[in-house]
A and B are shown apart, each in its own frame.
Chain A
Amino acid sequence: MEFVMFFATAAIALIGALAMVLSPNAVHSALFLLLNFAAISVLFLLLRSPFLFAIQLTVYAGAIMVLFLFVVMLLGAERADATQDRLAWQRPLALGLALVLLIEAVFISVTTIPQTPAVASPEAEAFAAPANLGSVLLTTYVLPLQITGIILLVAIVGVVVLNQRARLRHSLELEQK
C-alpha cells in the first residue's frame, strides 16, 4: 500500500516539476509548482513527518506560491519567453550537463547508500511528532531559531526599503517632467 502511494505521489511530483519547466506561461508554471509542492508534502506524510507536512502546505503551497502568483500577475509577465534566444547554443549544452548531473547523483546514491531494512524501526514511527520537534527547536536549536527570526525581520525591512526607493525615484522623475 505504501509503495502504491509512494509511486503515485512521486509520479505526480515529477510530472508537476517537468510541466513547470516546460510550460511557456508563467501562471501555469506557478500552478504546476503548486502541484509539485503538494505531492512533496504527501511524501513528507509518508515519511512520518506531520509537522513538516503542515509547514510545507501552509508556508510553501500557501504563502510563497500566492506571492509568486501575485508578482506574475502584477508584472503581466505570464507571456512566453522572447522567441530569439541570445545564447541558443546553451540549450543542448544545458541538457547534456543536466543529464550528467542526474547520472552522477543516481550513481552516487546507488553505490553509497546501504540497503535499507525492510521493516522500519519502531522508534522511527513517532520520532518526528510535532511535540518532539518543538522541544528540540526550543532547546538545542534555540540560537538558530532566533537567527531565523532576525533573517525574516531583515527580509521584511529589505522589501519595504526596496519598494520605498523605487517609489521615491518614480515621484522624482514625475517632478522633473
Chain B
Amino acid sequence: MVPTDYYVLLSAALFTIGVLGVLLRRNAIVLFMSVELMLNAANLALVAFAYRHANIDGQVLVFFVISVAAAEVAVGLALLVTIFRTRSTTDVDEVSTLRG
C-alpha cells in the first residue's frame, strides 16, 4: 500500500503547478485549465484521505466537485466566447475595463 503522504505530496505539487499557471499565463483559456488542475489536485487529496480512513464521505465530495466543475466550465467558456466576440482577444491583460 502506498502511504497517504505520497498522494498528498503529489497533490500539493499539482496544486502548486496550477497556481503557477494562473500567475504566469495570460491566455484566459489556459488560466481556466490551470483552475481545473487545482480542482483535480484537491480531488486527489480527498480520495487519498477517504481511502486512508475507509470513509465514503470524501468520495461523495469529489463527486460533487466534479459535477460543479462541469457547470463552472460551461458557464466560464460561454463567458469567454462572449468576451471574444466583443474584444477579439482572450488575453486577460487586454480585458481590464473594470480595473480601478
Q: Does A177 contact B (CB under 8 A)?
A: no
Counting contact residues on chain A (CB < 8 A from B), the size range is: 35 or more
Q: Which chain B residues border A144 with CB–CB below 8 Å?
A: 60, 64
Counting contact residues on chain B (CB < 8 A from A), the size range is: 35 or more
Interface flags, A1-41, vs B, CB<8A=1, else 0: 01100100010011001101100001001100100110010
Interface flags, A109-137, vs B, CB<8A=1, else 0: 11001011111110110011000110011
Tell whether, in the assembled complex, residue A75 and residue B37 are in contact, meaning their CB atoms are under 8 Å apart.
no
Interface residues of A (CB under 8 A from B): 2-3, 6, 10, 13-14, 17-18, 20-21, 26, 29-30, 33, 36-37, 40, 43-44, 46-49, 51-52, 55-56, 59-60, 63-64, 67-68, 71-72, 74-75, 77, 81-82, 85-87, 90-91, 94-95, 97-98, 101-102, 105-106, 109-110, 113, 115-121, 123-124, 127-128, 132-133, 136-137, 140-141, 144, 148, 151-152, 154-156, 158-159, 162-163, 165-166, 170
What are the 9 tightest A-B residue pairs by CB atom distance, in nearest-first order?
A: A94-B23, A105-B12, A155-B71, A21-B21, A124-B54, A159-B78, A102-B16, A116-B3, A17-B17
